[in-house]
Chains A and B, each alone.
Chain A
Amino acid sequence: MKMKLKNILFLIISGIFTVLVINSCASQKAAVLEKSSAQLWGENCVRCHSTPSPASFNDVDWETVTMHMQIRANLTAAEATKIKEFMQSAN
């Protein structure tokens, strides 16, 4: 019974996964680069933690922090660059 439930769960999740992959690849490319840097900051940081205040670090520190987050949180290079520029400009 337990194995049956596991298999059903596996199938459901695999199905959702496949649909999401297809949807992701088939959609029009709405360029991330067209989004404002503030929007990217609001959408990405909050995926793990609250959105940071630009005043929390100085401009030089933001270089280090965003590089760290690009690697740890798997941000795209374009997102990391725009978020860094936003933090530095709003600081």
Chain B
Amino acid sequence: MLLITAVIGGYAQDYKPSQSQFMIRGYGHAGFSSFSSDGETESSFQGGTFAPIFLFKHSDKIMFEAELEFEIEDDEVAIGFEYANFNYIMNDYVTLRGGKFLLPFGTFMERLHPSWINRLSSTPLGYGHDGIAPSTGIGFELRGAAQVGSGKINYSLYTTNGPTLNTGVEDQEEAGILLFENSEDNNTNKAIGGRLGILPFSNSSVEVGLSFYSGKVGDKDVASYENVKANLFAYDFSFVKQLNGVKGIVDVKAQYNQSNVDDATYIEDDGAGPEEYTFDNSSNSYYTQVSYRPTMSGSDFIKNLEFVWRYSELNTPEDAEWAEESTQTAFGVNYWMSWRSVFKFTYQTTDTIGGHEGGKSSTDGVFVHWAIGF
């Protein structure tokens, strides 16, 4: 007995975790969705999304992170390579990042989009497929944070391959759209971008951010597009605080995105021969979201409930083939089973003029999702 105690005791005393550590974290969700438009309804159970995040802590200063995303699309498994980058903490105020990373263009895509963090089952208008806000880039970034006065600032400054202009050669209806997923640059000009975030109060309850992203987007080998530039900017706002007056946590988030692309000449051919045209290529989108969770309630059930409202809008150029004016209102009721596992019920209604369908349309959506972070 003494021997066993001595061996175990000795092992416990000698045990020292290695400096390098490897973790798999991530998130996933599954559920049900239903869409109704013009009297037609489609509904499906959703097989789930699995997004593992790989973290390799090489030392106290170096870390590698990567995320994959698996989901079922058209009966096949679709794999997304979300990001993969190394991080080197140079000092308390500067971290160097390189590879493919989530762009701090506002906060939604970098911090809030994972399904266990996003308070609703859908993303606001203007993000994701056909969105005007970039989500990832390939390049290098310097970022950091510091205390200033009673508040804090955080910053990011990056350079990437940048967006590419879709000139409509393959699909003339998409002429003028910016494509953000570019593993190879189509010109020698590198895009630059950045975000400055300010948290003016010592309790970190308020954050206001200003972002920009700018660069040439045209192909260097096509004279008519080689000097076309895009300038994007975004404002974001966040307020999160437990308020005694309403006995719970109030969370307000908002972001405004603006995309301005230089005028360029595109070609359309509707059967009567090719014709040149141009348009003012400016788009914008924004969302405002308010959620409330009665965390100070005496009831365990009620304190785990959360109520969410979000309004978002997307406006793309009115003379483009992809002209669209959309508004969306969403409501949600969530039940938090733990700090990282949530059962979400979302109802949203979207009104669109233009877009892929053309004309005027109204779509109601119902989502029931269970999301978990791990």
Contacts and interface: CB of A to CB of B under 8 A. Distances in A.
Contact of B339 (A32, A53, A65): A53
B145 A76 contact: yes
Interface in B191-247: 197-200, 202-208, 210, 235, 238, 240
Query: How big is chain B's contact interface, by range?
Result: 35 or more
B204 A67 contact: no
A75 B145 contact: yes
A4 interface: no
A66 to B, nearest CB: 10
Contacts of A21: 198, 200
B153 interface: yes
B89 interface: yes
A65 B202 contact: no
Contact of A6 (B97, B198, B251, B284): B284
A61 B23 contact: yes
Given A48-B112, A49-B117, A76-B92, A63 B57 contact: yes
Interface of A, secondary structure class, is helix
Interface string A68-91: 101111111110000000000000
B336 A50 contact: yes
A25 interface: yes
B202 A17 contact: no
A48 B117 contact: yes
Interface residues of A, number: 46
Contacts of B205: 43
A32 B316 CA distance: 43
B322 interface: no
Contact of B151 (A17, A24, A53, A74): A24
A8 interface: no
A44 B57 contact: no
A46 B249 contact: yes
Nearest to A73: B111
B63 interface: yes
B271 interface: no
B55 interface: yes
B17 A60 contact: yes
A26 B151 CA distance: 10
Contact of B202 (A2, A25, A32, A73): A32
Interface of A: 2, 6, 9, 13, 16-17, 20-21, 23-32, 35, 43-44, 46-53, 56, 60-61, 63-65, 67-68, 70-78
